[in-house]
Structure 1
Amino acid sequence: MLEKQPPLSMAKIALGIEYDGSHYYGWQRQQQVKSIQACLEFALTKVANESIHVYCAGRTDAGVHATSQVIHFETSVTRKDSAWTMGVNSYLPSDIAVQWCKIVEPDFHARFSATARRYRYIIFNQRLRPAILAAGVTHYHAPLDAEKMHLAAQALIGEQDFTSFRAIQCQSKSPWRNIKHVHVNRYCDYIVVDIKANAFVHHMVRNIVGSLLAVGCGDQDISWIAELLTLKDRTKAAATAKAEGLYLVAVDYPAKYKLPTTIVGPLFLLE
């Protein structure tokens, strides 16, 4: 009779991930199309020499990027930090990269332990389209007033019902979310919408940006964003902004986990 083997000791590891989502059908693993999750699980499985399943802080849509996605996985093997970073990177395509790794407490969860997510939306505001970074920004040809966009966006701050900015197919049980800040700033020909909340409903950031664009180009008044919140009707708001300009730039966790911090970005943008 075979002796009963003791259960394997499992370690939980968190990774910081950066990716260009231009060539992927979003974060979530899907059959017959490329996804960020599938690429990471393939690379991690190679390094661990066992099947690895990962969990993320926020499932980004097709074409959306991240400078600071956070994931976690469990494994029974022991590897050096360099294996989970440089080793995993050697199996990843060039548009996905591990930034850091850390062994975390058993109660850590990349999604459920997060206390806030922060996104930035980059608009190239010029009459003619760009060639450099074309897949990393959203081109808007008409002149935009960033100051009016910023003023209008302040109505979004606080815990509110975001039905007017929620995708019809959203599966979240509640439309209520708590926005911590919204900033709209111009840097020469670039406008950056910076928004942080405890969580987001489906397409919430892109739907907000779509309506802010209507304010910025003069089609709607500054007060329109507040009116949309009151209406609680997605059909009254503007069209969803394109995916190309959206970046997940930070995820907040309780200090007890002591996760590494990175530059928010993307690229040259300051904190």
Structure 2
Amino acid sequence: MERIKCTISYDGTNFSGYQMQQKDRTVQFEIERALRKIHKDDIRTHASGRTDARVHAYGQVFHFDSPLAIPALGWVAALNSALPEDIAVRRVEKVHSHFHARYDVVSKEYRYKVLLNGRDNVFARNYMYRYPYRIDVSTMEAAAKHFLGTHDFTSFCSAKSDKENKVRTIHEIEIQQNGDELLFRFVGNGFLYNMVRIMVGTLLDVGQGRRAPADIPAILEKRDRRYASKTAPGHGLYLWQVNYNN
């Protein structure tokens, strides 16, 4: 048996999330269906983590074990030929049998894309959150600094989260504006359910003047989801990269 590590991209528009569900279409279902075509048998996969409905990925990672002796480039071709067009295998590596796509993660990078133009853009509607309000980026940057470091992010995760430990470390936050497009970039050791989207929603409120940068430490201290802003929509979010030691 060989352990195969895959890095994939997917357009989340027509998926109900990554993780397998009974009735709805998911990324994991399509991957395991493709592997079943190749192996003529069920193959279990393990991903770096879940993404929600309509959330995209540029660099999601999963692994599986296979009895087939196929070279790495052969796996790329075989999987891409069996997968639907909204999933693409970018890279395949053969790894040590102890490697685990979820438990060996060192950090993740998420990006969130916002369109500030008030006019409808039919080409961006599935890939950017349209937010037609004036914002102050420098004020948002001041607020974002309060997220850096290690904190209990209970206030910034969904009440549906099943994680008992809600302490996470954020290494980097970057906010870039290019014309009408706004990009949030987050790098951390891990992220809770809806955490990035709630942080984005709160930062957008700061940018609009509905909150102050100094509100962020108080919201963190409350450890209560009700004190943060609304959750930004899923279609603006991208799991950009998953980092490992090796």
Fold agreement, TM-score > 0.5: yes
Q: What is the Cα deviation at residue 247 of structure 1? A: 0.2
Which residue of the partner structure matches residue 131 of structure 2? Answer: 140
Which residue of the partner structure matches residue 230 of structure 2? Answer: 239
Q: What is the Cα deviation at residue 143 of structure 1? A: 1.2
Where do residues 94-109 of structure 1 align in structure 2 (5 Å cutoff)?
94-109=85-100
Contact 1:47/1:83 (<8 A) preserved: no
Aligned-pair Cα RMSD in Å: 1.0
Q: From the two aligned structures, give the one with the greater strand fraction.
A: 2
Q: Relative to structure 2, which stretch is displaced further, 117-126 or 75-84?
A: 75-84
Aligned length: 246
Contact 2:17/2:26 (<8 A) preserved: yes
1:178 paired residue among 166, 169, 172: 169
- How many angstroms apart in 1 are the aligned matches of 2:36 and 2:72? 15
For the residue of structure 2 that corresponds to 1:136, the secondary structure is coil
What are structure 2's unaligned runs of at least 5 residues? Answer: none
Where do residues 175-254 of structure 1 align in structure 2 (5 Å cutoff)?
175-254=166-245
- How many angstroms apart in 2 are the aligned matches of 1:236 and 1:56? 32
Contact 1:126/1:143 (<8 A) preserved: no
Which residue of the partner structure matches residue 56 of structure 1? Answer: 47
Q: What is the Cα deviation at residue 83 of structure 1? A: 3.2
Contact 1:152/1:226 (<8 A) preserved: no
Which residue of the partner structure matches residue 260 of structure 1? Answer: none
Which residue of the partner structure matches residue 72 of structure 2? Answer: 81
- How many angstroms apart in 2 are the aligned matches of 1:44 and 1:133? 32
- How many angstroms apart in 2 are the aligned matches of 1:31 and 1:175? 28
Query: Which residue identity lines up with residue 93 of structure 2 in the other structure?
Result: K
Structure with more contact order per residue of length (Cα contacts < 8 Å, sep ≥ 6) = 2
- How many angstroms apart in 1 are the aligned matches of 2:2 and 2:82? 22
Which residue of the partner structure matches residue 262 of structure 1? Answer: none
Contact 2:110/2:187 (<8 A) preserved: yes
Q: What is the Cα deviation at residue 107 of structure 1? A: 0.9
What are structure 1's unaligned runs of at least 5 residues? Answer: 1-9, 256-271
- How many angstroms apart in 2 are the aligned matches of 1:14 and 1:123? 31
- How many angstroms apart in 1 are the aligned matches of 2:154 and 2:236? 23
Q: What is the Cα deviation at residue 50 of structure 1? A: 2.5
1:116 paired residue among 82, 107, 110: 107
Where do residues 25-64 of structure 1 align in structure 2 (5 Å cutoff)?
25-64=16-55
1:21 paired residue among 12, 22, 26: 12
Contact 2:7/2:59 (<8 A) preserved: yes
1:138-181 Cα offsets, whole Å, 9 max, x none, are 10011122221111011001111101101101000211001111
- Return structure 1 stretches of 4+ with deviation > 6 angstroms: none
Q: What is the Cα deviation at residue 200 of structure 1? A: 0.8
Q: What is the Cα deviation at residue 125 of structure 1? A: 0.6
For the residue of structure 2 that corresponds to 1:211, the secondary structure is helix
- How many angstroms apart in 1 are the aligned matches of 2:192 and 2:216? 17
- How many angstroms apart in 2 are the aligned matches of 1:149 and 1:192? 12
- How many angstroms apart in 2 are the aligned matches of 1:229 and 1:116? 21
Which residue of the partner structure matches residue 121 of structure 2? Answer: 130
Q: Does residue 69 of the first structure (1) align with residue 60 of the second (2)?
A: yes
Q: Relative to structure 2, which stretch is displaced further, 138-147 or 107-116?
A: 138-147
For the residue of structure 1 that corresponds to 2:65, the secondary structure is strand
Q: What is the Cα deviation at residue 86 of structure 1? A: 1.6
Contact 1:18/1:69 (<8 A) preserved: yes
1:86-118 Cα offsets, whole Å, 9 max, x none, are 221111111100001011001100000111111
Contact 2:79/2:89 (<8 A) preserved: yes
- How many angstroms apart in 1 are the aligned matches of 2:122 and 2:134? 19
- How many angstroms apart in 2 are the aligned matches of 1:146 and 1:47? 49
- How many angstroms apart in 1 are the aligned matches of 2:134 and 2:38? 49
Which residue of the partner structure matches residue 146 of structure 2? Answer: 155
